[in-house]
Structure 1
Amino acid sequence: MSVGPDVLEELVQRVREAAPRLGRTRLVLIDGPSGSGKTTLADQLAEALPAQVVHMDDLYDGWNGMLAGVDRVGAQVLEPLADGHDGRYQRYDWYAGDYAEWHDVPRAPYLVVEGCGSGARRFGELTALLVWVEAPDDERLARTLARDGEGAEEHLRAWMAAERVVYETEGTAQRADVRLDGRGAIT
């Protein structure tokens, strides 16, 4: 899901006009269910701002690791930046089933974090803009299976159930500053 130039311009303007709340950094969180278009939007914003992107997929420790990934982005990236230090995280290798290389997240004017659970309530005071992206379940499942392969369907269905619990508990969609549908339109 790509957003058009008007929507992208509006998002960029909102981020640039927001006060930095993560040290000197304006943090953009892009959350929503798997397959809704978060990564594509993050790439568009990263180019337009410009900003580094941290992908939550690199922080989950496998199919059951959503909440651990949220803890990890907080401890390894956001808390150090809030304290005036650079962040750093170790990427999870889904194929090896273990952690791999480290990635630096230097202090900068803008940072985009995208992925399921990234819009956790506890990051609210650090966030310049929280974007919620959603799409119909059947469309999301088709997109995600195309990306991850048919063998991942059982895992994806369990992940989708876990997402619903997290989003219900966190109230992420209701707290979002901007809500986008799976076609990139503001709702």
Structure 2
Amino acid sequence: MQNEFSYAVNTTVDLIKTLRNQKDRIFIAIDGMSGSGKSTFAQTLSETTKATLIHCDDFFLRPEQRTEERLSAPGGNLDTERIISEVIQPIIDGDSFAYKPFNCHIMDFDTAKIISPEDIIILEGSYSCHPALFDFFDIHIFLSTDRLTQVSRILLRGGYNKTKEFIEKWIPMENKYFQHYNIKDKCELSFKT
């Protein structure tokens, strides 16, 4: 993975450098399969480019939003409205911003994060290339991996019960979203990790 990972980071940094000549602020979305290394890739890219990093996991739906209708829509379990109003719009307006990350373990909000955004902003996580968000971003990246690696990484990260939940619930929801919106093919960059 290291050579592919380094290649992905270097290729993305090169594209950012090219865009820096054209734009004052660059928005990057990093989407892809669970267990494909999105968080690690985003963290490395953020450190390399001094970018502001926002995680989609902070914007999963609150319990009262989890209606059957909402969850049945491809990518419907991400609060895209809140990402736009609390993160993207303040950045566009040139402001610092604050948001309360949603914590899935306690099913409630955590303490607010106050952010003074850098000139490069990364939104990392599944559903970051959702059509409601897609046009806000300058660079769209899709990460994938093979099934065995995916399951192994999820198992290491969360144990058996969490892996079972991912296999039965979250991965099928992601795949539905990827296929419905043709996410991988819409991204400028795609890497297998």
- TM-score normalised per structure 1: 0.84
CA RMSD across the alignment:
2.3
- Tell me the alpha carbon deviations over residues 103-161 of structure 1, each in whole angstroms, 9 at most, x when there is no partner: 12323211111100001223333212111000122321221121112111332121001
Partner secondary structure for residue 85 of structure 1: coil
Q: Which runs of 4+ in 1 moved over 6 A?
A: 62-65
The farther-off stretch of 103-112 and 173-182 is 103-112
Equivalent of 1:77 in 87, 94, 102 = 87
Give yes or no for contact 1:15–1:28 (8 Å, CA) kept in 2: no
Give yes or no for contact 2:5–2:41 (8 Å, CA) kept in 1: no
Which protein has the larger Cα radius of gyration, Structure 1 or Structure 2? Answer: 2
Partner secondary structure for residue 143 of structure 1: helix
Equivalent of 2:170 in 147, 159, 176 = 159
Q: Counterpart in 1 of 2:39?
A: 39
Q: Counterpart in 2 of 1:13?
A: 14
- TM-score normalised per structure 2: 0.82
Question: Which amino acid in 2 is paired with 1:38?
Answer: K
**1:129 aligned onto 2:130:** no
Give yes or no for contact 1:78–1:87 (8 Å, CA) kept in 2: no
Q: Counterpart in 2 of 1:168?
A: 179
Give yes or no for contact 1:77–1:105 (8 Å, CA) kept in 2: no
Q: What 5-or-longer segments of structure 1 have no aligned partner?
A: 183-187
Partner secondary structure for residue 101 of structure 1: coil
Sequence identity of aligned pairs in percent? 19
Check 1:78–1:159 CA distance in 2 against 1; reply closer, same or farther (3 A cut). Answer: same
Q: What is the distance in 1 between the residues matched to 2:17 and 2:134?
A: 17
